[in-house]
Amino acid sequence: MADTTRTAAALLEVENLAVEIRGAGGVVRPVDGVGLSIAAGETFALLGESGCGKSMTALAIARLLPGAASIAAGQVRLGGDDLLALPEARMREMRGGRIGMIFQEPATSLNPVMTIAAQIGEALARHRGLAGTAARAETRRLLEAVGIPSAAARLDDYPFQFSGGMKQRVMIAMALAGEPEVLIADEPTTALDVTLQAQVLDLLARLQAERGMAMLLITHDLGVVARVAHRIGLLYAGELIESGLREEFFAAPLHPYAQRLFAALPDGAARGRMLAALPGGVPPLDRHFTGCRFAARCPCASERCQTDAPDWHNVGGRRVRCHLYIDGGGVQIRQRFSAGAAAAYRPAAAPVLEVRDLAVHFPVKKGLLRRTVDWVRAVDGVGLRLAAGRTLALVGESGCGKTTVGRAILQLTPPTGGTVIFDGSPLRPRDHNAVRNMRRAVQMVFQDPFASLNPRLCVGEILEEGMVSLSVGGDAASRQRIVDGLLERIGLTPAMRWRYPHEFSGGQRQRIAIARALAVSPQIIVCDEPTSALDVSVQAQLLNLMCELQQERGLAYLFITHNLAVVRYMADDVAVMYLGRIVEQGPAARVLETPEHPYTRMLLAAVPRVDAEPDADDNTAKEKPGAMAEPPSPLAQPAGCHFHPRCPLANGACRESYPAARDLGEGHVVRCLRASAR
């Protein structure tokens, strides 16, 4: 049976697509016989782990493969035109015209030295023949269509003058400039916070409905798929292994791989036990597979799975590539977690780290003499307490100051004011010995492990670097034994100490970053978005490792994140941050199950859920549309409560003064005049 998933009136059809990359080590096949079809107005989600071939499939469809790669077989048809047979000159008209693309990282996809109008104008000139005043007017209309406020005034701005969410909107406007029939969106919401993610997904759905576009959505986020997809194709090791309607897939996934992905999702009810992480990783694609590609990781694998490649099977109108369904059988290993009861309140022990009235203000300098004309109040009076063996989650939208708090605690960014108290003693920034001792006890794991690991050092040198700098670990032989033990502890081998960062996957690099932090035996680890760009299975492996280490060593974690599912699973306490200030904090069970601040409720309402029906209400209060608007600039913070311009409950009093902290009992504190008003 052909590897294809077809709709009645397909606009885009892909049949038996295969891609080869030839190099010194042989031939790699990242896409091997993929087939799919998408109708006008339909969203097809291509789902799978990193390294499964999702992005390579999209690049092959648009004929944007890197130089060493080539299309080895297959057909790609758009409205009857065979894209693989077109000359390159004609294909350039297709790209940006009938086919629009949104790339994963807008910051690297936009030209930093060209204005937004010039970049969108290029697409308009190429595909619609617009120039001058007409192009500028159409650019303004496109920016307005994607929700850029004051679009006319922002035409001549450069990419760096836009926030992450706004850059993603500009990318969408550019993709729409050629009035495409098919839109390919490659991880369009990866690393965006929950409110920006909700805005981008809602925007794509609205524009698709207005224009009747077909959309190929590439993602590893099951929540995003549940929110916007009509049909789903699950990709593993270069081939599709399951396809069907979204509702049926989420109700009862068929393939053991799909079931294990759901079981690996973090959830509050899974607290206290290890997540069902998939062992191992995606197999190398430089080999000829004789059996099932998932067999080595499958809990249901039989002898036949090792020798015979499974064919497609129809199961109630759905399609799955698995030997379990030869006779219409199959098993369900998916773990369905029900909401657990809130844990009883337990006062935390004496804090090992306490932050009081922490402030970080950055000067805004202008003029020839670079005089300070204003201040950006990135952190403005933050207070936190963290006890040994506990996890405090610091959550909020991008730009609210979360990362700056973590950096200020370690004195990587000098605080403007406030006090950091470690082990009962206030830290004095000019006391270099105290700062040195604190940095040994408090380590940081950064969001992007590749950027934080020295590419010129091998892993062993990276892990030893901190020990040498802080004079811990003994002599060279002792340090080597510690490094070997750490590598084994994070699931690598001592032989890997001689490899360089680029030779590891993203999940492995994040594990190495954690090992580097552990090398100096810290008491606290500040984790800055450690799982934001990881797929479900790698995220589960990393969270399991962190939980094991916390139990073994009594580590305290300050977990900076916008992933509220991870917060439900990991956190003992939660602090919600907005425009430099903590607006609500307390035990995780109380803050997440009975949020009092409208901003907290807005964040929870924006989280895409895998167990929610499309457009179904959840347990969180629905906020007014204005609540999903862009947050104000830190340079122009509103008077009174900073959240009042977006708050559905705001009244006159909210605009006059910043609310004082209200203690609601059991450690639950909120700064809101309208708390408990719904």
Residue at 617 is within a domain: no
- The Cβ of residue 381 has, within 10 Å, a number of other Cβ atoms equal to 15
Are 292 and 415 within one domain? no
- Looking at residue 620, what is its pLDDT? 39
Q: What is the pLDDT of residues 656-669, one digit of tens each?
A: 999 999 999 989 99
Domain match, 368 and 485 both: yes
Under 8 Å between Cβ of 463 and 515: yes
| Contacts made by residues 224-228, CB under 8 angstroms, sequence distance 24+ | 224/45, 224/189, 224/197, 224/608, 225/45, 225/47, 225/610, 226/250, 226/608, 226/609, 226/610, 226/612, 226/614, 227/201, 227/608, 227/614, 228/43, 228/45, 228/201, 228/204
Q: Looking up tokens 């589960």, which residue turns up?
A: 540
Same domain, 172 and 123: yes
Alpha-carbon gap, residue 479 to 496, rounded angstroms: 16
Residue 123 in any domain: the answer is yes
Whether residue 442 lies inside any domain: the answer is yes
267 part of a folded domain = yes
Q: Does a structural domain hold residue 187?
A: no
> What pLDDT score was predicted for residue 334?
46
Q: Are residues 442 and 579 in the same domain?
A: yes
Q: Among 536, 562, 590, identify where a domain stops.
A: 590
Q: Give the residue among 676, 661, 163 at the shortest CA–CA distance from 397.
A: 163
Residue 501 included in any domain: yes
390 shares its domain with 446:
yes
Residue 273 counted as domain residue: yes
Q: Are residues 285 and 399 in the same domain?
A: no
DSSP summary character for residue 581: E
Q: 534 and 413 in one domain? A: yes
CATH no. for residue 386?
3.40.50.300
Quick: pLDDT tens for 337-394.
Answer: 333 344 455 555 688 999 999 999 999 888 888 888 888 899 999 999 999 999 999 9
Q: Which two tokens stand for residue 383?
A: 């207070």
How many domains does the structure of the chain reveal? 3
pLDDT confidence of residue 397: 87
The label of the residue with tokens 């995220």 reads 539
Answer for the pair 37, 6: CB distance below 8 angstroms, yes or no.
yes
CA neighbor of 69 nearest in space, from 102, 104, 13, 27: 27
The verdict on residue 79 lying in a domain is: no
Residue showing tokens 């595909």: 127
> Could you tell me if 376 and 425 lie in one domain?
yes
Q: Among 179, 212, 230, which residue terminates a domain?
A: 179
Domain stop point among 129, 147, 179:
179
Cβ neighbours for 474, distance < 8 A, ≥ 6 positions apart? none
Both 269 and 148 in a single domain? no
Residues of the chain scoring pLDDT < 70: 1-8, 191, 328-349, 612-630, 677-678
Instruction: Based on the fold, state whether residues 389 and 515 are members of the same structural domain.
Output: yes
Pairing of strands 391-395, 214-219: unpaired
Same domain for 317 and 359: no
**pLDDT score at 202:** 87
Domain that holds residue 471: 351-590
Q: 307 and 420: one domain?
A: no
What's the predicted TM-score (pTM) here? Answer: 0.84
Check residue 677 and give its pLDDT. Answer: 57
